[in-house]
Amino acid sequence: MAKWLNTIVALLILNIFSSNIIIIFAQTATSLSNNLEPEPSLPEPRAYIPNENNLDFVYHSHEELTKFLRATSARYPNLTALYSIGKSIQGKDLWVMVVSSSPYEHMLGKPDVKYVGNIHGNEPVGRELLLHLIQYLVTSYETDQYVHWLLDNMRIHILPSMNPDGFAVAKEGACEGGQGRYNARGFDLNRNFPDYFKQNNKRGQPETDSVKDWISKIQFVLSGSLHGGALVASYPYDNTPNARRLKGICRSSALCAMFQTYAASPSLTPDDDVFKHLSLVYAKNHAKMSRGVACKSATPAFENGITNGAAWYPLTGGMQDYQYVWYGCMEVTLEISCCKYPPAYELRKYWEDNQLSLIKFLAEAHRGVQGFVLDSSGTPIERASLKVKGRDVGFQTTKYGEFWRILLPGYYKLEIFAEGFAPREIEFVVVEQHPTLLNVTLQPAKRTDSAIIHHYRPLPGSPQHYRPPHPPPPSYNSNSGLFSSITNSLNSIYSNIFG
């Protein structure tokens, strides 16, 4: 009898909990007045439940993922384009699906944005949500005005799985641990990119090399990287030049080497206001994230559901820092599940929690300033260097002379440089409702002593800004010895627990 009573009570509690989730989601979906709207007259994106005959809420193998992407591309040839940016260690294609009303050609003056999932193979919720996002977009284009507007005004590139080899050996239901986290050679792909603050000596992997080549060819304006193991939107910088030393504990340089990672403090970019805003857009449109509730008692709670990456825990070689510093792309890391690899029956809940956030985040690419850089004859100037004064991380024009920069409302000054042209400074204003359109004409530089005056232009492959001086490194060698081994082990344990 006692067993039956316990079962009935458990079912009642589960029913109440499920109802609360639905109520919270509905309340979140209606409180959007503070977010950027593409057009004031557009209704909110409609609630969407995928057709389970086409795409179940299950984890799909690489073969099943490939089959779905190919079938979708064949079924919606006017809205999708499928391409591979390279292969994993084990020869699996790194598939990218473009979803847009112009999938095969860049739309002049309209930005390219992207989502990347499954960089850690044992964090596959994002992998599945991105497949559902693809289906959502293509099936809603004709019936949902908001989705129609997005696909007419940007190209959305979706890489569902950056680490298919790791996913293949990860275990469903494993909320913690490292099995499947790494690629087939045992490398953490989110520690494998060039780093702005510290030299990254880890050997480049095919997966990261493919992504680096990809983003060097397409001028992405905005990006989200989907992870698991926490519930928070984390923004750059992920690394820091000098992690704070523990007073009273850190009495020797060797001891500091072990503890400095865990005495983290914020490492803020010149665009900290923008990154906080982008993170809040995702968190506030999420069903739970902005409440800032810790996943469990031993893990941190995040105010408003956002955090600076280095303030959470510093890491070297992260993807979001690399894209921002080298290419000016605004990327936010989206930790979307407390459990790294939750059971498949929970995937529908994760879709419902994240659907609105995934859409609203992309629309932020149309906030700020955008335009063209041209010469006096109206010819586009490719790879002109631009910088918003006071924000030293720069960006460049495309081969069509286009540029975009996400900015919050305010007054700004844009600095433009191009080899063979006189530099310019232009003041402009950004408002809340619409992006500022700004076309810039550069004049040829005057000749002095029969030589053209050359202005600042970054070297290929170098960070796209003036690099400020860093503090001198500590006297200890953090790459060798016992304390290095302990520190590296702690880093690995922390990453495996928290993402």
Please name which of 287, 347, 286, 337 lies closest in space to residue 52, comparing C-alpha atoms.
Answer: 347
Per DSSP bridges, beta strands 369-375 and 402-405 are antiparallel
CA dihedral (346, 349, 353, 358) positive or negative: positive
The token pair at 412 is 């700004």
For residue 237, say if its preceding peptide bond is cis, omega within 30 degrees of 0: yes
Task: Give phi and psi for 69, each to the nearest 5.
Answer: -65, -40
Instruction: Tell me if 65 sits within 8 A of 88, measured CB to CB.
Output: no
- For tokens 């996002």, name the residue: 133
- Our CA angle for 388, 276, 178, nearest 5°, is 120
The full DSSP string for 237-266 is -S--SSPPP-TTT--SHHHHHHHGGGS---
Burial 183-209 (b: 16+ CB within 10 A, else e): bbeebbbbbbbbbbbeebeeeebbbbe
What is d(CA 452, CA 483) in angstroms, rounded to the nearest whole number?
Answer: 54
What distances in angstroms separate CA 260 from CA 237, 244, 257, 499, one per listed residue?
16, 6, 6, 19
Q: How many Cβ atoms are within 10 Å of 438's Cβ, its own excluded?
A: 18
User: Which amino acid does the sequence have at 77?
Assistant: P
- Using CA atoms, how far apart are residues 329 and 325, in angstroms rounded to an integer? 8
Instruction: Sort strands 440-442 and 369-375 into parallel, antiparallel or unpaired.
Output: parallel
d(CA 82, CA 99): 9
Angle of CA points 361, 364, 368, to nearest 5°: 160
First vs last C-alpha separation in the chain: 43
User: Nearest CA to 246 among 260, 266, 261?
Assistant: 260
Closest CA to 157 of 209, 102, 119, 108: 102
Contact call for residues 207 and 121 (beta carbons, < 8 A): no
Rounded distance between C-alpha atoms, residue 452 and residue 326, angstroms: 27
CB 103 within 8 A of CB 79: yes
44 is catalytic: no
Q: What angle do CA 255, 261, 264 make, to 5 degrees?
A: 120
**C-alpha span between 203 and 211 (Å, rounded):** 15
The active-site residue out of 37, 128, 335, 364 is 335
Distance between CA atoms of 38 and 371, rounded to whole angstroms? 17
Positions annotated as catalytic residues are 335
